């Protein structure tokens, strides 16, 4: 087996907060809260595999009018994790982690060939990162219980995971 990294995508307060813009838009985020708890437990368990944590830094209304989330300088931009274990944080400005030069540099510098993906949101950032990774020849393992989206759109998560599995990702 080659070198692998656990990529924790966008566990930020604008997605995880019960009064966040995302929660207000989707009504309930129980599944997101559950995944966040599992991700925190993963972080708190000693591992030989390193953690690479991504944090979105979007522009106001980047994805359309009224869709301002994860804006630097706002409370919702903050990560909703206790990072007590060694990790690297990479800031990105688009859905895919591969749009961040520091992300690509980390993978190259550490000769990573396998990405274990978890985080938020399944149908956007996790999906686009997985697709870009698969297109570049990386092995992708999707940590299913550690990936989430809004309660009202859980079918998107399942559709996304199935589509990625058909493209070669492994669901674990």
Task: Calculate mean pLDDT across residues 125-136.
Answer: 98
What the chain holds in terms of domains, given with CATH numbers, is 3-171 (3.40.50.850)
* Per-residue pLDDT tens over the stretch 41-95: 999 998 899 999 999 999 999 988 878 899 999 999 999 999 988 899 999 999 9
**Predicted local confidence at residue 127, as pLDDT:** 98
Percentage with pLDDT > 70 across the chain: 99
99 and 30 Cβ atoms separated by less than 8 Å: no
How far is Cα 87 from Cα 135, in angstroms, rounded to an integer? 26
Burial 13-29 (b: 16+ CB within 10 A, else e): bbbbbeebbbbeebeeb
The sign of the torsion formed by the CA atoms of 34, 38, 43, 44 equals: positive
**Predicted local confidence at residue 167, as pLDDT:** 98
- The tokens for 134 are 């698969």
**Predicted local confidence at residue 63, as pLDDT:** 84
* Per-residue pLDDT tens over the stretch 4-35: 999 999 999 999 999 888 888 898 999 999 99
Is residue 1 over pLDDT 70? no
Comparing CA positions, the residue from 116, 111, 121, 100 lying closest to residue 25 is 121
**Predicted local confidence at residue 114, as pLDDT:** 98
pTM: 0.96
How far is Cα 120 from Cα 32, in angstroms, rounded to an integer? 8
Of the pLDDT bands very low, low, confident and very high (cuts 50, 70, 90), residue 162 is very high
Q: Do the strands 51-56 and 87-92 form a parallel or antiparallel pair, or are they unpaired?
A: parallel
Which of 1-5, 86-90, 100-104, 162-166 is least confident? Answer: 1-5
15 and 40 Cβ atoms separated by less than 8 Å: no
Is residue 2 over pLDDT 80? no
Task: Calculate mean pLDDT across residues 95-122.
Answer: 98
């Amino acid at each position: 087996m080659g070198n692998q990294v656990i990529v924790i995508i966008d566990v930020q307060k604008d997605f995880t907060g019960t009064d966040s813009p995302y929660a207000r838009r989707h009504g309930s985020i129980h599944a997101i809260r559950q995944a966040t708890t599992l991700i925190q437990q993963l972080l708190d368990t000693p591992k030989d595999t390193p953690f690479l944590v991504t944090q979105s830094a979007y522009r106001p209304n980047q994805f359309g009018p009224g869709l301002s989330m994860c804006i630097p300088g706002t409370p919702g931009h903050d990560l909703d994790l206790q990072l007590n274990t060694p990790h690297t944080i990479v800031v990105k400005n688009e859905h895919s982690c591969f749009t961040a030069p520091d992300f690509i540099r980390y993978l190259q510098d550490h000769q990573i060939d396998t990405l274990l993906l978890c985080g938020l949101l399944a149908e956007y950032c996790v999906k686009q990162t997985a697709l870009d990774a698969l297109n570049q020849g990386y092995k992708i393992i999707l940590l299913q219980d550690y990936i989430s989206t809004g309660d009202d759109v859980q079918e998107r998560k399942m559709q996304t995971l199935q589509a990625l599995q058909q493209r070669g990702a492994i669901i674990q």
